């Protein structure tokens, strides 16, 4: 298991051209999202929401908003990862079952909720948390897709304001990235990575 996991991580790469004849069933996409929701998140608030572009019609609506990047229309699906700016509102639903089951005292639950709600008085904190935690989910989605033998491409270049307007995204959520998923028609072009010594400082 360890070796196969490391192999998936080493082989995952961004694919720009997809086989348009391949369709991913809704059930399989749902399973990928279920695995994605196992991602870590601060206070376990699960700061994510997903808009799934599965039909060709919906992908064509998204295409101009994503600056006509061909992977958007070619991929079997595109999943928009949104960050939750009001994730503190999830606190009661997260902690109350734990308290009811005796896994957490009411005192600890209330202390945690107070800490969370206090932190969310700061809008910058809320936005940073939305992006960082939703990005963890995005990475988990891409790894899960690769484990199921699909390839992906994370897309940050799209018109965020147009996306919100066109798809009537609630103000609670902020678009973080789009992830195209499907089968490639050709391998990704070669890329390089900086050496660990160039990107790390050891103390």
Length of the chain as a residue count: 203
If you search the block for the tokens 């209330």, which residue do you land on? 110
Name the residue range of residue 129's domain.
39-199
Which CATH number do you get for residue 111? 3.40.109.10
What DSSP letter does each residue of 3-68 carry, written as one string? HHHHHHHHH--B---B-TT----HHHHHHHHHHHTTS--GGG---EEEEEE-SHHHHHHHGGGGTT
Q: Is the pLDDT of residue 1 over 70?
A: no
2: confidence class by pLDDT, cuts 50, 70, 90: low
Q: Is residue 122 a part of any domain in this protein?
A: yes
pLDDT tens across 77-95, in order? 999 999 999 999 999 999 9
187: confidence class by pLDDT, cuts 50, 70, 90: confident
Q: Is residue 127 a part of any domain in this protein?
A: yes
Q: Is residue 7 a part of any domain in this protein?
A: no
Domain count, the chain: 1
Q: Is residue 89 a part of any domain in this protein?
A: yes
Give the contacts of 133 (CB within 8 A, at least 6 positions apart): 39, 41, 42, 45, 46, 47, 48, 83, 84, 87
pLDDT tens across 4-62, in order? 889 999 999 999 999 999 999 999 999 999 999 999 999 999 999 999 999 999 999 99
**Cβ pair 44, 133 in contact under 8 A:** no
pLDDT of residue 186: 86
pLDDT tens across 115-170, in order? 999 999 999 999 999 999 999 999 999 999 999 999 999 999 999 999 999 999 99
Q: Is residue 193 a part of any domain in this protein?
A: yes
Q: Is residue 9 a part of any domain in this protein?
A: no
Q: Is residue 51 a part of any domain in this protein?
A: yes
Q: Is residue 31 a part of any domain in this protein?
A: no
Distance CA 179, CA 177 (A): 7
């Amino acid at each position: 298991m360890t070796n196969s996991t490391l192999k998936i991580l080493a082989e995952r790469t961004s694919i720009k051209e997809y086989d348009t004849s391949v369709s991913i069933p809704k059930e399989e996409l749902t399973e990928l999202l279920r695995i994605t929701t196992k991602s870590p998140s601060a206070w376990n608030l699960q700061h994510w929401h997903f808009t799934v572009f599965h039909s060709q019609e919906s992908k064509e609506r998204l295409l101009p908003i994503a600056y006509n990047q061909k992977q958007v229309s070619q991929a079997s699906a595109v999943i928009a990862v949104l960050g939750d700016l009001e994730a503190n509102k999830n606190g009661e639903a997260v902690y109350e079952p734990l308290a009811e089951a005796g896994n957490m005292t009411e005192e600890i639950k209330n202390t945690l909720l107070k800490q969370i709600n206090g932190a969310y008085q700061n809008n910058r904190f809320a936005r940073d948390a939305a992006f960082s935690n939703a990005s963890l989910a995005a990475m988990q989605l891409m790894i899960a897709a690769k484990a199921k033998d699909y390839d992906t491409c994370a897309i940050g270049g799209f018109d965020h304001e147009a996306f919100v307007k066109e798809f009537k995204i609630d103000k609670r959520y902020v678009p973080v990235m789009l992830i195209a998923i499907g089968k490639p028609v050709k391998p990704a072009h070669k890329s390089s990575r900086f050496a660990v010594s160039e990107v790390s400082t050891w103390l």
